[in-house]
Each structure stands twice: as structure tokens, then as C-alpha cells.
Amino acid sequence: MDRLWAPWRMTYISGDHIDEGCIFCNKPKETKDKENLILFRGEYSFIMMNLFPYNNGHLMVAPYKHTGNLEDLNDNELLEMMKLVQKSIKAMKRCMRPDGFNTGFNIGRAAGAGIADHVHFHVVPRWVGDTNFMPTLAGTKVISEHILKTYDKIYKELHLEDL
């Protein structure tokens, strides 16, 4: 029998990550970008990989401002967030070659926001055939590449001058 190992998921399953406070406020204050999966820092917002991804390469763009309401963001914050979404998509097209993307905000717990008190935009690369029987029958999502290897690929592309 083949074994599928994903030990980093236990932090999510056990709920141990819940007491960390707001990751979108705390992680950018630190200087450990790779450890915290921060890929790119802008003036008003930043790009961060999702530690518990729906798919390989799942990113989030979040403002530095702590708010759960999109309408609390000013024009500069909103514009930079969308520019970073665009930059993320360009970078992933170059290094991961996905067939498409799921993008958007989940605002509020009822809408599926895992962190409801700090608005963030999801960018999830998708490939034709990336959904299989595992989530349905086994309750398991297979992520085919180690998160730090994906981080390195996307980081390199995000820091090219022509993006």
C-alpha cells in the first residue's frame, strides 16, 4: 500500500494554529518571510502562501490594515491588492503553467472565511484534471509539491523586474 504523508496538516486538523492571533498582522511584523511564507511585500499589502492550501500554489493577498470589511480599505490599499493579484497570476503562469485560476474574497464566516476579521484575496491555480476521487472518498486533498519548493519557484518569478 502506498502512503500519503502530509504531517504539516496536523496543525490545521488539531486546531493548534487558531491561537496564533491574526496571521495577516503578526507574520508581516516578523523578518522571517520564507518561514512565514510571505512571498512579496508592497506598501499597503503583501502576498503570502496559504499554509493549508486548497491546491498547490494557493496564495493570499492581504492588506496590512486589520479589517474584516472590504469597504474599510482606501483606494490605495484596494488598488495595490489587485495589482498584487495580477502580479501573482503572471508569476504563476510563468513558473507553474496552470490552466486557470479561482480567485476572490470570502468575507465573513458565513461566506467561508477562515480568518474573518482580516480581509484577504485568494488566488488558487487550477489544472484540468486536478480534482479526483481523493477529496470525495477519502476526505484528502493531494498537494503534489512541497510548499517550500513551490514558494521558491513563485518567489523567484515575483521578484523579476518585468512583472
| pLDDT one-digit tens code per residue, 37-56 | 999 999 999 999 998 887 88
Q: Is 50 annotated as a binding residue?
A: yes
What backbone torsions phi and psi does residue 50 show, to the nearest 5 degrees?
A: -85, 120
Q: What is the DSSP letter of 134?
A: I
Q: Is 122 annotated as a binding residue?
A: yes
Cell of 14: 488539531
Number of domains making up the chain: 1
117-121, 128-132, 152-156: segment of lowest average pLDDT: 128-132
In contact, 151 and 53? CB cutoff 8 Å: no
Q: 3 in a domain, yes or no?
A: no
Angle at 10 between CA 1 and CA 135, to 5 degrees: 55
- Look up the domain containing 123 and give its range: 9-158
Average of per-residue pLDDT across 135-152: 70
d(CA 159, CA 163): 8
Q: 163 in a domain, yes or no?
A: no
Q: 106 in a domain, yes or no?
A: yes
In contact, 163 and 90? CB cutoff 8 Å: yes
Catalytic pick from 66, 118, 120, 159? Answer: 120
Q: 135 in a domain, yes or no?
A: yes
43-47, 110-114, 129-133, 154-158: segment of lowest average pLDDT: 129-133
Q: What is the DSSP letter of 138?
A: I
Other Cβ atoms less than 10 A from the Cβ of 138: the count is: 11
Q: 35 in a domain, yes or no?
A: yes
Q: 41 in a domain, yes or no?
A: yes
In contact, 25 and 65? CB cutoff 8 Å: no
Please indicate whether residue 118 is annotated as part of the active site: no
The yes-or-no verdict on residue 129 having pLDDT over 60 is: yes
CATH of the domain at 139: 3.30.428.10
Q: 136 in a domain, yes or no?
A: yes
pLDDT score, position 145: 75
Cell of 40: 512579496
